[in-house]
Structure 1
Amino acid sequence: MNFEIHFGYLLFLFDWLIRLAALAWIPVRSPPAAARSWLLLVGFVPLFGLPLYLLLGHPWLATQRRQRQALASQLIRDRQASLAMLRWTPAAHGLTSDIARLAERLGDFMPVHGNTVELLDDYATSIDALVADIDAAREEVHLLYYLMFDDVVGRAVCEALQRASGRGVRCRLLLDAVGAKSGLRAFAGPLGNAGVDVRAMLAGGLRWRSLSRMDLRNHRKLALIDRRIGYVGSQNLADAGFVPGHPNRELVARVRGPVLRQIAALFASDWLIETGERLEIGDFPGGEAGRTPAQMLPSGPAYPFENARNLVVALVQRARRRVVLVTPYFVPDDMTLGALRVAALSGIDVQLVLSMSNNQTLTRWAQRSYYDELLRAGVRIALYRPHFLHAKHLSVDDEVALIGSINLDIRSFALNAEAGLLCFDAEVVARLRRIEADYLADARQLELHEWRRRPRWHRSLEGMARLADSLM
């Protein structure tokens, strides 16, 4: 009996020591919103919450990976000094000038003129174009993707790479170790035997602890073919229906011109970070391919700032007439949420387009918790019905478009490696507006009075899910 009493006292004391240690430690190592979520979890279940925080509490990377990112960024800055003739200089003041300058300071890439940007809104058309471009390659193919599945699309890309390698084309494939697990298992062997250099990024399993926080992912979707064609967008190397019941709708930018040098540099950066091997960027075709000024923005935990979040907030804050944001996952941090509210209250037409269906249950409930306060501020929220809208893009006024892999959630802002293409071109924005109008034609616009009629138990679930926003 005495042993049981003493053990109970020790367990009680240990529980409270964990709570007090967490209170002193977690707020120093995590942003306020994340710290609140973790402290709540540790406060309720100390013996479970503390180990989980040690695993997932903050986006740390191994020193080696941070050093390689710093080296890659320095190489990018050094190389751009010799490419000053490609720089696009916007008007001294205004939206484009502010955004281009901010993006360059965040992600190291300067805005360059002379690009063409083709928007591919049809899933099959985009995959067919990628495979055709690989089949036409004569020198090299570089692919960097989050997902590659063992399905009809994965096999089509794999076979195209094998054919290209058989023609003597240098092929490299970077795949996220977790997101593309099935593709790596199915295709790494056959592709390696065909001469394709296949590497897994942010490897999981027993290796993760020496490399990074275990749930950090490389979420980018990039392709570069012969230094003449590039792809940037939301589409993975998988069939549209790879999540049963949620067929995806995507948006991909097929680009030509000087911005391809930035896509090549971004691929080379990830290759260096993952393998330690420095790739030579090589020469690119001279001359201009079009009239669109463009700029790549990389983002990820290896950068000193949350590049994607900072850019999105700046775009919303600098809008003067209209901003449209399209994302499958909407779990914003306080800064993003505040920017949307203030823009709408200032009279800006703020349109948020989300998917009515969602393949992540916790995220679906969490994002619903934001609708009431946004609708009250005047933000319009549309729920797209026909497919799972997995596209990720943003347009501001008639001046700027952002297309890429960036979701409007805390994971995408702080934990994932992402890539976005900024286009400073009214024509590209007009084409994007037509795609957005197509979404809206098949979407349900939420009304505040209607939304408030939802069952009370829905509100409770939404509130509980929102408490886990920093854990998603």
Structure 2
Amino acid sequence: MLPSHPDLRLVWYVAEWIIRLGALGIVPFRRSPAATTSWLLLIFFLPGPGLLLFLFIGRPRFPAARDRRSQALRPFYLDVADRLDRAAGCDAGEAGRFARDLGRMPSAGGNTVELIDDYDGVFDRLVADIEAAQSHVDLLVYIFANDAVGHRIATALAGAVRRGVRCRVMFDPVGSHTWRRGTWRMLRQSGVEVREALPVRLLWRRSRADMRNHRKLFVIDGTIGYAGSQNIVRKDFKPKIVNHELVARVTGPAVAAMAAVVAGDWAIEGEEPPAPSPVAIPDPAGDACVQLLPSGADYRLEGFETMLVWQIHRACERVVLVTPYFVPDESVIGAMCSAAAREVTIDLVVSAVVDQRIVHLAQCSYFEQLLAAGIRIHQYRDFLLHAKSASIDRTLGVVGSSNVDVRSFQLNEEASLLLYDDASIARLLHIQAGYLAASDRLDLATWRARHPLRRLPESLARIMSPLL
């Protein structure tokens, strides 16, 4: 609403144009064209609200104080990486070297990898591992619910505490907001040490509310590690939606990389100067060569996206991408379309079950372009396929927490496990084949014939997608 007084209206008018012109000089800096366009449209049409929103969430980086704490952890990560490389480094070729440049951790051999796509089975294994723990348990998770599943894990942790096992849980307060207070109370009553990842303070803001720690990493005794997409919550915690997940249970030297990331995330949220718990390199336990690729605003580049785009450009035969939320940027779209033009088979598996309407509309806006380029799109039936995985040419498999969307690329702290050995990749391909068999493939002509009223909200959601 404009001010009633003529002089105030003039001041308002001039202020709006100052905001618009200032945005032209500030917004495009270090942003993708899509994000720049979205922000400029918002600010030009709604200068006041747009400026406030930009100041709150417009800069994908942490406050300077947290950056300093993150930099203080670099010697710790480098030490763990060097010792892991000397003790168990495996030759993962150019991909392994590039992933180390992106995420600091080397590829490591001598591991066992068990891929678990049974939601309840993951908790059965985790509880058994906690009940057998002898030294320590560290859980880093986006959602830790105060529900039947959360109580089950808390009960196992309480038993471990009584045996003298040090147990720590870090959860994301935004992801866990529904259960936050109950979860905190439940865990503290169990004797578990608890911290929140990236806490948000309204008056003294320690992090942006939309930059979240989305990792799911569980480490037991430094010798067993879990990485994947599964939170600690009932699989049907949303009405009429049942989640389907994928988790890798790892034993062997590579667990040291998981332990280092969890220890670093725990230390950075403490009040004292960062001093992570020491990380030992576990003994060999198998033959698998794997590598942890952490990513987020604490790293130089968007690690998961950079690795994915590079691998798609190098693909020769087939790429399978599985993600519940597909809101890519130009580099991902370009890599997929150019690979398809080189006659690389690309299968994109998304979920037919929808839990985030606006994200789903934005996702659908890309389908026609992809289908026209020859990319095969499959919609997984009956369940929300929340699993995130990728396979490229039977030479690389990826299982982790990162979606193929701008949020995971630029805003969230994520963790992806890279699989290099034939047995692990074959198991992942088998699981992905099951996804394809349980999906319906989209047809270009049928998609183009969808109701015209669907196109407008899809287009609007796409414009908003860099802000989602």
Q: Which TM-score tier does this pair reach, normalised by the shorter chain? A: over 0.9
Cα distance 1:252–1:58, how it changes in 2: closer, same or farther (>3 A)?
same
2:340–2:375 CA contact under 8 A, matched in 1:
yes
Q: Which residue of 1 aligns with 2:387?
A: 391
SS of structure 2 residue aligned to 1:395: strand
Q: 1:425 aligns with which of 414, 421, 437?
A: 421
Look up the match of 1:20: 21
Range with bigger deviation, 9-18 or 427-436: 9-18
> Hey, what does 1:60 align to over in structure 2?
61
Q: Distance in 2 between matches of 1:28 and 1:285?
A: 44
1:437 aligned residue: 433
- Deviation of 1:31 (Å): 3.1
Structure 1 residue aligned with 2:338, among 338, 342, 349?
342
The verdict on how the C-alpha distance between 1:22 and 1:285 changes in structure 2, with shifts beyond 3 A counting, is closer
Residue 281 of structure 1 and its aligned partner are, at CA, apart by 2.5
- For 1:84 and 1:332, the matched residues in 2 are separated by 33
Give the TM-score taking structure 1 as reference length: 0.95
- Determine the structure 1 residue equivalent to 2:208: 213
Moved more, 55-64 or 105-114: 55-64
AA of the residue aligned to 1:163: G
In structure 1, distance between residues paired with 2:15 and 2:279: 59
What CA distance in whole angstroms lies between the structure 1 residues aligned with 2:21 and 2:118?
A: 54
> What is the letter of the counterpart of residue 154 of structure 1?
G
Look up the equivalent residue of 1:270 and give its one-letter code: D
C-alpha deviation, 1:150, in angstroms: 1.5
Tell me the residue number matched to 1:93: none
Deviations 1:54-88 (A, max 9, x none): 11111121222212222323322133333443344
Q: Specify whether residues 183 and 344 from structure 1 end up closer, same or farther in structure 2 by C-alpha distance, changes over 3 A only.
A: same
Q: Structure 1 residues 435, 84: CA separation in 2 closer, same or farther (over 3 Å shift)? A: closer
Tell me which amino acid in the other structure corresponds to 1:299. S
Tell me which amino acid in the other structure corresponds to 1:103: A
Deviation string 1:238-283 (CA, Å, 9 cap, x unpaired) is: 0001111221000000110100110110111101211144233243
Find the counterpart in structure 1 of residue 120 from structure 2: 124
Paired residue type of 2:344: I
Structure-2-length-normalised TM-score: 0.96
| Aligned-partner Cα distance in 1 for 2:80–2:118 | 36
> Is 1:233 aligned with 2:228?
yes
* Equivalent residues of 1:68, 1:272 under 8 A apart: no
Question: CA–CA distance in 1 between the matches of 2:51 and 2:218?
Answer: 40
- Per-residue Cα deviation, 1:221-246 (whole angstroms, up to 9, x for no partner): 01001122110000000000111122
Q: Deviations over 1:299-340 (max 9, x none)?
A: 011112111110111121121111100000000011111111
Which residue pairs with 1:34 in the alignment? Answer: 35
Amino acid at match of 1:335: S
Q: Deviations over 1:382-408 (max 9, x none)?
A: 000120000001011111111010000
The separation in 2 between residues aligned to 1:204 and 1:247, in whole angstroms, is 29
State the secondary structure of the residue aligned to 1:358. Answer: coil
**Any conservation in 2 of the 1:325–1:394 contact (CA below 8 Å)?**
yes
Distance in 2, Cα, partners of 1:428 & 1:88: 17
User: Does residue 1:51 correspond to 2:52, yes or no?
Assistant: yes
Q: Is the 8 A contact 1:146 1:218 kept in 2?
A: yes
Q: Are 1:162 and 2:163 an aligned pair? A: no
In the alignment, structure 1 segments of 5+ residues that lack a partner are: 91-95
User: What is the identity, as a one-letter code, of the residue corresponding to 2:251?
Assistant: R
Q: 1:248 aligns with which of 239, 243, 246?
A: 243
Q: Tell me the CA shift for residue 349 of structure 1.
A: 0.7
What whole-Å deviation, never above 9, does each CA across 1:21-48 have from its counterpart, x for those lacking one? 1112211253332111000001111121
Corresponding residue pairs, total = 464
Give the corresponding residue for 1:372: 368
Q: 1:180 to 1:452 in 2, by over 3 A?
A: same
The aligned amino acid for 2:153 is V
Q: Secondary structure at the match of 1:218?
A: coil
**Match status 1:196 vs 2:192:** yes
Q: 1:312 to 1:208 in 2, by over 3 A?
A: farther
Which of 254, 261, 277 lines up with 1:266 in the alignment?
Answer: 261
Q: Note closer, same or farther for the CA distance 1:386–1:448 as it changes in structure 2 (3 Å cut).
A: same
CA shift digits 1:336-361 (9 cap, x unpaired): 11111111111111110000112111
SS at match of 1:10: helix
Asked if the contact 1:257/1:290 (under 8 Å) is kept, the reply is yes
Residue 141 of structure 2 corresponds to residue 140 of structure 1: no
Name the stretch that deviates more: 324-333 or 58-67: 58-67
Preserved CA contact (<8 Å) 1:30 1:58: no
From the superposition, tell whether residues 68 and 452 of structure 1 become closer, same or farther in structure 2 (CA, over 3 Å). Answer: same
Secondary structure of the residue that 2:111 maps to in structure 1? strand
Separation in 1 of the partners of 2:368 and 2:87? 46
Give the unaligned 5+ runs of structure 2. none
Q: Distance in 1 between matches of 2:30 and 2:5?
A: 37
Distance 1:354 1:73 in 2: 36
- For 1:138 and 1:285, the matched residues in 2 are separated by 14
| 1:332 is the counterpart of 2:328 | yes
Q: Paired residue for 2:280, among 275, 280, 283?
A: 283
Indicate conservation of the 8 Å contact 1:355/1:383, yes or no. Answer: yes
- State the one-letter code of the partner of 1:37: S
Answering whether residue 431 of structure 2 is matched by residue 414 of structure 1, we say no
State how far apart, in whole Å, the 2-side matches of 1:24 and 1:282 are.
46
Q: CA deviation at 1:298?
A: 0.4
